[in-house]
Structure 1
Amino acid sequence: MTIAWIYPGQGSQVVGMGRDLQDWPGAAQKLALAREVLGWDPLALSEEQIHQTRYTQPALFTVSALLSDYLYAQGQTPGCTAGHSLGEYSALYAAGVFDFEAGLRLVSLRGQLMERAGDPPGSMAAVIGFDRTKLEHLCQMTPNVTIANDNSPEQVVISGSVEGVQAVCEQLQAKRTVPLKVSGAFHSPFMQAAAEKFAHRLREVEFQTPRVPVYSNCTATASRDPQTLKQALLAQMTAPVRWRETVLQMAADGVQEVWEIGPGNVLTGLVKRTAPSLRRRNISSLSDYPAGS
């Protein structure tokens, strides 16, 4: 059976996540490294830190990476990996493209840049239950608005200027629109300045050939070519997250089951709505896959 390991991004439930990892001896060295690199404990976010991108992104990466290490230690191996937005870094780590410290430093910088990306100010909104053709037309006709996250047939996130996002939501007549509390218009051209700053650091990181194929957000296809994966990651901050297409491509490529590795169950829910034939499992703590299973 071909199993894909998939990784959630920002927006996942982060309260109390990963606490049991402190009890696993295999996590001790990397947790110590994370505290040294970050200057704070990724498994002990305060109430204030929980709502700040520069803290939640490294914390999510740390938890997902350590859960991946744990599964490997139990003899599990994925057939491929994929991640939603920030989760793509965890997917690349799990496939052996870069080591834990390199990934953590990249994610830490990414979080800092994204948190400061509010100039010019931008906006995002989740759209649920909509006419896709009409939405695409409105985004084409409205300046400074794009589909940022194509999550499932029934749910997308649009991103862009405050006025543009509001105008699309008002004209679309969706079942529901939800403004998101974000510091900028993520996965849109509004992130170009942050993306250029991030690219300088990313180009310095050497990508290794992954042990399994990795699906990229901006292509919705899998690759084992390090340079292809790096170019896709360079484009990720300003490009849409094509998650719906990624899930459909996984099914077409022969994936039969997905394991969501990290806090929450957002991605398995999206998989269920997009490709219900795929089996689903959530690994958000060590107890979800007891040692010796």
Structure 2
Amino acid sequence: MTIAWIYPGQGSQAVGMGKDLRDWEGAASKLALAYDLLGWDPLGLSEEQIQQTRYTQPALFTVSALLTDYCYAQGKAPACTAGHSLGEYSALYAAGVFDFETGLRLVALRGRLMDAAGEEDQGDRAHTGGMAAVIGFDRAKLEYLCEIIPDVAIANDNSPDQVVITGQVEAVQAVCGQLQAKRAVPLKVSGAFHSRFMQAAADEFAQTLEPIAFQPPRVPVYSNCTATASRDPQVLKQALLVQMTAPVRWRETVLQMAADGIQQVWEIGPGNVLTGLVKRTIPALERQNFSALGL
């Protein structure tokens, strides 16, 4: 069976995630490295810390990376990898594009910059950024509203019946008010991720990312920005350079994976958000979740 390993992004975190990884001897060296690099334990976050982007992103990457190591140690291997937003870094790690330390340094910087961008937004009410999940909607009407209402856009195209919109809080509220969706839920995030409000953070992040050498992946990696797979390290790096401001094309990614012959997806990391989205997009795709040791 042709299997894709897929990796969750911010929003899948939970207090205590990955705690059983402490019992696996294969995790010890990386957990020690993570503590030295971060100055805190990625498996020991409090309820308050785990909701802060600067903590959430490195912790999620660490858990997914260690679960990936465990899968490989059990003799498992994917045909390809993909990740949702932050999860793309875990997908690149799983494909061997960069090592654990490089990935963790990048994710830690990404988390700090995105957190800081959100704090700057909060300091200027006219440009406060926010996001909302929209469920059960008319897609054509949503796309039209995002075109005619300034400062709002689709951030995550997750499934046929679920998207996340991003932008100025007032603009997000205006779209939700006119769309008449089944549900519209404001998200507890620190800023308008995957929008132009992240441009300054993306520019600063690019200064660190650009000189890093990416290795050719051992398997194809699907990009959030293109919804297609590549084995070209420069193509994959370019996708990361624009990822912070570009929408996550997850629905299209799932459709493309199926078109490319993927028969099953393994969600490697906490929670089951992505397998739920896969089910709503292509119910025939088989699904497994690996959030703890034991395959």
Shorter-chain TM range is: over 0.9
1:63-142 matches, cutoff 5 A? 63-118=63-118, 119=121, 120-142=127-149
Q: Is residue 177 of structure 2 the alignment partner of residue 170 of structure 1?
A: yes
Corresponding residue of 1:255: 262
TM-score, length-scaled by structure 2: 0.97
Q: Deviations over 1:14-58 (max 9, x none)?
A: 211111111111111111000000000001001221111101110
SS in 2 for 1:143: coil
Q: Which residue of 2 aligns with 1:52?
A: 52
With structure 1 as the length reference, what TM-score do the two structures score?
Answer: 0.97
Partner of 1:17: 17
Q: CA deviation digits over 1:129-184, x for unaligned, max 9?
A: 00000000000001011000000000000000111111101000000000111111
- The one-letter amino acid of 1:175's match is K
2:201 is aligned to 194
Select which of 224, 229, 232 maps to 1:222: 229
Structure 1 residue 184 corresponds to structure 2 residue 191:
yes
Give the 3-state SS of the residue equivalent to 1:204 in structure 2.
Answer: coil
- Aligned 8 A contact 2:53 2:112 in 1: yes
Gaps in structure 1 of 5+ consecutive residues: none
| Contact 2:156-2:248 within 8 A present in 1 as well | yes
Query: Percent identity among equivalent residues?
Result: 80
Q: Output the amino acid matched with 1:227.
A: Q
The secondary structure found in structure 1 opposite 2:117 is coil
Matched residues in 2 for 1:132 and 1:35: separation?
A: 44
Tell me, what secondary structure is at the counterpart of 2:164?
strand
Q: C-alpha displacement at 1:117, in angstroms?
A: 1.1
In structure 1, the residue matched to 2:247 is 240
Deviation at 1:205, TM superposition (A): 1.3
In structure 1, the partner of 2:30 is 30
Runs of 4 or more, structure 1, over 6 Å off, are none
**C-alpha distance in 1 between matches for 2:195 and 2:51:** 21
Residues 35-92 of structure 1 show CA distances to partners (whole Å, capped at 9, x for unaligned) of 0000000010012211111011100000000000000011001000000000000000
| 2:177 equivalent to 1:154 | no
The RMSD of aligned alpha carbons is 0.7
- Corresponding residue for residue 6 of structure 2: 6
Give deviations 1:98-142, integer Å, cap 9, x for gaps: 000000000000000111113342010000000000000000001
Q: Could you tell me how far apart the structure 2 residues matched to 1:77 and 1:48 are?
A: 35
Give, as a single letter, the amino acid of the residue that structure 2 aligns with 1:132: R
